[in-house]
């Protein structure tokens, strides 16, 4: 049976973080109710779709509160063919987690939580404009664990204003002590049209070399703490990789529901624009065909496992192009060549866009 994931975008947050480029608006109960109804209708339009994972991402999905999330899961179960062991992830932030009843969420079928910690350092959190403290994050994780959640991911950020190797190490130690199973470590990118970009001279950001050092340091420290890298920004304990996100990197199909959500379904890529109104009006924009050989190679090279001959053959009935191997062997610092595939090194991951473009196109 083919795996299909369902991504549900919740475009609401308690406030806007100054670096954030995601589509998110200020939360209100009235809009959350209207949005839940619109999501329900859209989920019902995929009646009998066979689903292996569900991911509530955002924004801050947890801000919707237990009742709305439980109702959406119940619609999914009643309408779609959700596998018995499907992974169901809910993203949440510590500052709005008091709204959540973890026992009820678990009972409804949520079995994975992804929590936005970003940093355990008070000063870093302040510069990131985050509203929580490390101790509130700790209470949230502990409360969820008490209710039986044993698959928890924490998001942390690399290259934030005033971050040092020492503060990063403290954040990693903090995560490890909480006994979570997964860590996503993203390098902060200063996106245009964000307050961070407009006021960038007010902050002290690590330069590119320092960012690279922090990334390499994080990879080493996370592995020492038992979190093994399986993708550029993702690390987990044995077997606890994100099954839903794996669909993206394996170029498998998924439905994205909500403004700014992208889909790859029946070989076509399409998305809803970054506008609640457009979502309410069922507007979607075509993004052409998907799943070709080059797209597959680009996505797979984000994984530590990289491009693998057997997987490539199963999918396309042919070998990985020879020129990929030739080019990879010319940039040994950035790419590993095996007899059954190609993968990127840590330095290759840091420059992944240009290294992948070079391997594919020269």
The CA distances from residue 271 to 90, 286, 356, in Å, are 21, 7, 25
CA angle 216–197–124, rounded 5-degree value? 50
Confirm or reject binding of residue 58 to ligand SF4 (CB under 6 A). Answer: yes
Residue 59 is a binding residue for ligand SF4 (CB under 6 A):
yes
From 13-21, 140-148, 180-188, 281-289, span contacting ligand SF4 (CB under 6 A): 13-21
State how far Cα 53 lies from the chain centre: 14
72 lines the binding site for ligand SF4 (CB under 6 A): no
Residue 38 in contact with ligand SF4, rule: CB under 6 A = no
Residue 136 C-beta: closest distance to ligand SF4, Å: 14
Return the structure tokens found at 203: 């902050």
Does 57 interact with ligand SF4 (rule: CB under 6 A)?
Answer: no
Contact status: 13 vs ligand SF4 (CB under 6 A) = yes
Which of 52, 60, 96, 111 binds ligand SF4 (CB under 6 A)? It is: 60
Residues 6 or more apart whose CB falls under 8 angstroms from that of 236 comprise 153, 181, 182, 183, 227, 228, 230, 242
The residue range among 18-26, 172-180, 312-320, 349-357 that interacts with ligand SF4, by the rule CB under 6 A, is 18-26
16 binds ligand SF4 (CB under 6 A): yes
Among the residue ranges 44-52, 56-64, 81-89, 294-302, the one whose residues contact ligand SF4 (CB under 6 A): 56-64
Q: Does 49 bind ligand SF4 (CB under 6 A)?
A: no
4, 24, 36, 140: which one contacts ligand SF4 (CB under 6 A)?
A: 24
Q: Which pairs count as long-range contacts for 97-102, CB under 8 Å and 24+ apart, including other chains?
A: 97/62, 97/136, 97/140, 97/143, 99/62, 99/63, 99/65, 99/66, 100/62, 100/65, 100/66, 101/66, 102/143, 102/144, 102/146, 102/147, 102/149
Our finding on whether 62 is near ligand SF4 (CB under 6 A) is no
Q: Rule CB under 6 A: which of 81-140 touch ligand SF4?
A: 93, 116
| DSSP secondary structure letters along 173-222 | HHHHHTT-SEEEEEEP---TTSHHHHTGGGS----HHHHHHHHHHHHHHH
With tokens 């009006």, the residue in question is 281
H/E element, 278: helix 276-280
Q: Which is nearer to ligand SF4, 95 or 253 (CB)?
A: 95
d(CA 255, CA 235): 25
Choosing from 10, 17, 110, 301, the residue that interacts with ligand SF4 (CB under 6 A) is 17
Stretch that binds ligand SF4, among 12-20, 216-224, 298-306, 345-353 (CB under 6 A): 12-20
Query: Residue 140 is inside which H or E element, if any?
Result: helix 134-146
Whose Cβ is closer to ligand SF4: residue 259's or residue 341's? 259
Judged by beta carbon, residue 15 or residue 164, the one nearer ligand SF4 is 15
Q: How far is the CB of 21 from ligand SF4 (least distance, A)?
A: 8
Sheet holding 307-308, edge to edge: 307-308, 341-344, 335-338
Q: Which stretch binds ligand SF4 (CB under 6 A): 10-18, 77-85, 260-268, 328-336?
A: 10-18
Between the alpha carbon of residue 310 and those of residues 112, 318, 344, the distances in Å are 30, 9, 18
Q: Closer CB to ligand SF4, residue 196 or residue 312?
A: 196
- Which residues are at the interface with ligand SF4 (CB under 6 A)? 13, 16-17, 20, 22, 24, 58-60, 93, 116
């Amino acid at each position: 049976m083919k795996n299909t994931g369902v991504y549900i975008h919740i475009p609401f947050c308690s406030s806007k973080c100054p670096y954030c480029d995601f589509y998110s608006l200020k939360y209100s109960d009235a809009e959350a109710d209207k949005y839940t109804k619109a999501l329900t209708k859209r989920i019902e339009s995929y009646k009998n779709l066979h689903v292996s994972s569900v991911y509530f991402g955002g924004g801050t999905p947890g801000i919707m509160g237990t009742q709305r999330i439980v109702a959406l899961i119940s619609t999914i179960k009643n309408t779609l063919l959700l596998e018995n062991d499907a992974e169901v992830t809910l993203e949440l932030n510590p500052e709005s987690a008091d709204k959540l009843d973890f026992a009820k969420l678990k009972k409804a079928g949520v079995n994975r939580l992804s929590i936005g910690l970003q940093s355990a350092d008070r000063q870093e959190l302040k510069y990131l404009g985050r509203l929580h403290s490390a101790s509130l994050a700790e209470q949230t994780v502990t409360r969820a664990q008490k209710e039986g959640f044993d698959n928890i991911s924490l998001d942390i950020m690399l290259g934030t204003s005033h971050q040092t190797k020492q503060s990063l190490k403290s954040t990693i130690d903090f995560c490890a002590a909480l006994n979570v199973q997964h860590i996503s470590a993203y390098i902060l990118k200063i996106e245009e049209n964000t307050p961070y970009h407009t006021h960038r001279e007010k902050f002290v950001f690590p330069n590119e070399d320092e960012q690279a050092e922090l990334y390499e340091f994080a990879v080493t420290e996370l592995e020492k703490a038992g979190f093994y890298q399986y993708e550029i920004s993702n690390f987990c304990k044995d077997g606890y990789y994100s099954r839903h996100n794996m669909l993206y990197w394996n170029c498998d199909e998924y439905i994205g529901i909500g403004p700014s959500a992208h889909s790859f379904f029946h070989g076509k890529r399409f998305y809803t624009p970054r506008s609640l109104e457009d979502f309410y009006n069922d507007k979607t924009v075509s993004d052409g065909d998907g799943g070709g050989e080059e797209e597959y190679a680009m996505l797979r090279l984000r994984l530590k496992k990289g491009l693998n001959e057997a997987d490539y053959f199963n999918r396309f009935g042919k070998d990985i192009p020879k020129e990929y191997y030739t080019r990879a062997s010319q940039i040994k610092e950035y790419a590993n060549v095996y007899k059954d595939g190609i993968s990127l090194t840590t330095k290759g991951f840091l420059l992944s866009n240009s290294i992948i473009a070079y391997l594919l196109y020269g």
